[in-house]
């Protein structure tokens, strides 16, 4: 009786790299990679040869030299005798501040406008359409300059708050909105152990702990609902998790407020947000919100109308249908283009120098570059920063996108 045996395995031949479909795609990818590396090597070699011919070299030693210039708005301590590296860090923090605040307000405005564009009220929907079309079709630089000009010309100056015949007054005796900027109360802690940044690190740790605590409570409520069919009421426990630890910490650390006061020709104390920061952030937010609104509208329209009708047949009110049925499904369509809008807002913040706001482009890519003459090094660092922040935003948003995408059992 003959036995069945496996056919002898064929030995690998170099010709299979092109003739065998199992290896052909890898061969072409490897060739493309080698060609790309060779092209970059040629460009770098050409760069170094040209620098050597001109008597130049690539060095980042200038970062340790004194900057010699002031920065009008900063989140950390900085003087004109600080290094160029610290000036670059101040610019990076200013850029991140605009990006974070701008993305936050752009998201809120964009979602509201996108929902209102689908309103049954003809006037509301048309007004939102006019807003979207106007802001989408005018360059963002023009909006930045217009809003800056409006702030400077319309808002009162600090001198208008002085004397009994003052033409302007502080809002609630705590806020002063002037053409120079906004003056706000500054919170601080009086306890010695919470002085400086220590107190805010404690607050941040409490917020992180409250986030995970609220997540655990929500998971427990969901598990209980799956076992029993009834979901326990947890909203008051969620509020307690978020606010009770904070209130106790604020009391123990001695929370106090420093109010802005008019002294001489300007306000002193409190938090000062320059008009350039306010104008830039506001312009970027309302400009980007017009694009986000269209993404939201497209995402809502992508949800089957039958979902809305089914929810309405259960007796849900329109606002509950939107928040519980439509928007959760629309997020799968909204999030991918929303990532691009966040990236655009972050990169558009490089226009800050147009209104005198010193971001990383104005510090490292502006004054530092001109003073030191290190154009290649400064531009490389700028590219590295924007590449890093863009990849970070994409990573975080893609993680969130994966968490809400449709999962099959």
User: Which pLDDT band holds residue 127 (cuts at 50, 70, 90)?
Assistant: very high
Tens digits of per-residue pLDDT, 264-316?
Answer: 778 888 888 888 899 999 999 999 999 999 998 988 888 888 888 888 888 87
Domains annotated on the chain, with CATH: 84-150+273-404 (1.10.3720.10)
What pLDDT digit, counting tens, does each position of 128-174 carry? 999 999 998 999 999 999 988 888 888 888 777 776 666 677 777 78
In this predicted structure, the answer to whether residue 54 has a pLDDT above a threshold of 80 is: no
Q: Which DSSP string do the residues of 281-307 spell out, in sequence order? A: HHHHHHHHHHHHHHHHHHHHHHS-HHH
Contacts of 352 (CB under 8 A, 6+ apart): 94, 95, 98, 276, 280, 358, 359, 361, 362
What angle do helix axes 275-302 and 140-154 make, rounded to 10 degrees? 130
Share of the chain above pLDDT 90, in %: 18
> Dmax over Cα atoms in the chain, in whole Å?
117
The Cα-based distances of 401 to 161, 208, 324 in angstroms read 49, 21, 18
Spatial distance between the Cα atoms of 119 and 117, rounded to a whole number of angstroms:
6
CB contact set of 228 (below 8 Å; sequence gap of 6+): none
Interval 101-124: pLDDT, tens: 999 999 999 999 998 888 888 898
Residue 74: predicted pLDDT: 82
The length of the chain, given as a count of residues = 409
- CA 186 to centroid of chain Cα atoms: 23
CA-to-CA dists, residue 336 to 229, 342, 365, 376, angstroms: 34, 10, 31, 34
Q: According to the 3-state scheme, what is the secondary structure of 62-76?
A: HHHCECCCCCCCCCC
């Amino acid at each position: 009786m003959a036995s069945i045996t496996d056919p002898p395995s064929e030995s690998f031949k170099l010709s299979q790299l092109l003739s065998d479909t199992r290896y052909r795609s890898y061969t072409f990818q490897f060739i493309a990679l080698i060609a790309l590396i060779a092209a970059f090597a040629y460009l770098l070699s050409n760069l170094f040869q040209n620098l050597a011919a001109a008597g130049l070299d690539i060095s980042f030693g200038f970062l340790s030299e004194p900057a010699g210039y002031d920065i009008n708005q900063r989140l950390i301590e900085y003087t004109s005798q600080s290094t160029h590296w610290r000036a670059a860090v101040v610019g990076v923090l200013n850029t991140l501040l605009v990006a974070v605040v701008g993305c936050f307000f752009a998201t809120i405005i964009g979602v509201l406008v996108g929902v209102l564009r689908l309103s049954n009220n003809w006037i509301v929907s048309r007004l939102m359409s006019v807003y979207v079309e106007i802001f989408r079709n005018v360059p963002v630089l023009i909006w930045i300059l217009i809003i800056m000009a409006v702030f400077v010309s319309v808002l009162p100056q600090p001198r208008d708050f002085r004397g009994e015949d003052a033409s302007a007054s502080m809002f609630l005796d705590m806020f002063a909105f002037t053409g120079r900027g906004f003056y706000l109360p500054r919170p601080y802690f009086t306890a010695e152990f919470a002085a400086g940044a220590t107190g805010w690190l404690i607050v941040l740790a409490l917020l992180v702990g409250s986030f995970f605590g609220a997540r655990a409570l929500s998971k427990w409520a969901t598990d209980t609902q799956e076992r029993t069919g009834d979901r326990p009421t947890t909203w008051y426990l969620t509020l307690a998790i978020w606010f009770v630890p904070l209130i106790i910490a604020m009391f123990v650390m001695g929370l106090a407020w420093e109010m802005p006061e008019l002294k001489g020709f300007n306000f002193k104390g409190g938090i000062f947000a320059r008009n350039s920061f306010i104008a830039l952030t506001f312009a970027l937010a309302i400009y980007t919100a017009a694009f986000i609104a269209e993404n939201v509208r497209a995402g809502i329209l992508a949800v089957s109308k039958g979902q809305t009708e089914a929810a309405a047949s259960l007796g849900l009110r329109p606002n509950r249908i939107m928040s519980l049925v439509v928007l959760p499904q629309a997020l799968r369509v909204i999030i991918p283009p929303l990532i691009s809008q966040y990236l655009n807002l972050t990169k558009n913040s490089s226009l800050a120098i147009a209104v005198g706001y010193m971001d990383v482009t104005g510090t490292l890519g502006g004054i530092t570059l001109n003073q030191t003459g290190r154009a290649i090094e400064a531009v490389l660092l700028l590219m590295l920063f924007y590449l890093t922040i863009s990849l970070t935003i994409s990573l975080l948003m893609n993680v969130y996108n994966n968490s809400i995408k449709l999962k099959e059992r």
